[in-house]
Amino acid sequence: MLYYSHGLGEDFNGYGDYFNGHQDDNAICYLTLANVLIHEVNPEAITIAEDVSGMPGLAAPFEDGGYGFDYRLAMNIPDYWIKLIKEKKDEDWHPSGIWWELTNRRAGERTISYCESHDQALVGDKTIIFRLIDADMYWHFRKGDENGAVTRGIALHKMIRLATASTMNGGYLNFMGNEFGHPEWIDFPRDGNGWSYKYARRQWHLVDDKSLCYHWLGDFDQAMLQVLKSVPAIETLPVQEVWHDDGDQVLAYKRGKLVFVFNFSPTKSFPDYGFLVPEGQYEVVLNSDAEAFGGNGFADDSVVHATVPDPLYARDGKGWLKLYIPARSAVVLQRK
């Protein structure tokens, strides 16, 4: 409703495309007044904008000339993950592209980051976990019976959620079971399905069945959120890239006292992979490859990692943090 064309058939490549007279002034005025009224009636209320065009100021305060929404949905992120899964081989998952998509936003507007929503979960599309594993979820999702597709899907599903949640600058959204890899789509009763209620449901009991793999994904989600919440107001802290290498498929960044390290390579594990970080000792607070989360448990998470001094960077107070990073895994460390 922001545009007379409703944004159909339009490309938004620069700021000129947002201020060219195609904008619906009445709709913009209505949305702005609605936000002002909502926050006057209930100062604790939260409004979230859903906009694919990237309209500037949509989530900026009214006092600053914005539309007054508290947050905007980062709608590029779920589209990117689905595109990556559908179109790229695992060997072509480049950390530089992942980093760009996860952090491509205006600093003055808070966003809600999420991996997927109703666009992927409704009938006709597939959720991330179903794109990764497909029908093998029905036949090989019992613990002890996992095949290669299931092992890959579980590993990447954890990494995708951690990367998305840890880079958000406003909030993180789970959607109706994706926190534990809900296996099916949503389909409401309609003429096309004979008015069936079969898929108008979420099977919440799956995560409670300890004989199935779902609880691994659910347990990881809880641990991930606990780690992020351990840093007060983490969403307000800058996300600083430490390292990326598209050849190795390794990405590292820091936020507050936490350091996040990802190895997206499907085949290459790295011993003693080094990053420059503030000197000190670092302990592992989350590892996607831990056996408790359905991983292989290749790394010893009880080890405290001390940085290695380097005279070249001593003036900056930095040293080399050297880690063993298994393939298809992510680890979060905290400076002691």
Strand order in the sheet with 304-306: 240-245, 250-255, 258-263, 329-335, 281-287, 304-306
pLDDT of amino acid 269: 98
Residue 118 is encoded by which pair of tokens? Answer: 């109703």
Cβ contact 305:322 at 8 Å: yes
Q: For residue range 36-66, what is the model confidence (pLDDT) as tens digits?
A: 999 999 999 999 999 988 899 999 999 999 9
What is the spatial distance between Cα 166 and Cα 234, in angstroms, rounded to a whole number?
Answer: 9
List C-alpha distances in Å: 189 to 81, 126, 127, 185.
29, 18, 20, 13
Ranges of each domain in the chain: 15-73, 238-335
Q: For residue range 65-94, what is the model confidence (pLDDT) as tens digits?
A: 999 999 999 999 999 999 999 999 999 999
Residue 16 gets which letter from DSSP? G
Question: Going by CATH, does the domain composed of 238-335 fall within 1.10.510.10?
Answer: no
pLDDT of amino acid 252: 98
Q: What is the pTM of this model?
A: 0.94
Q: For residue range 215-260, what is the model confidence (pLDDT) as tens digits?
A: 999 999 999 999 999 999 999 999 999 999 999 999 999 999 999 9
Determine the longest span between alpha carbons in the chain, in angstroms: 72
Q: For residue range 178-195, what is the model confidence (pLDDT) as tens digits?
A: 999 998 888 999 999 999
Q: What mean pLDDT is predicted for residues 11-32?
A: 89
Mark 115-154 as b/e (b = at least 16 C-beta within 10 Å).
Answer: bbbeebbeeeebbbbbbbbeebbeebbeeeebeeebbbbb
Strands 240-245 and 250-255, bridge-based pairing? antiparallel
pLDDT of amino acid 118: 82
Angle between helix 148-166 and helix 214-229 axes, rounded to 10 deg? 20
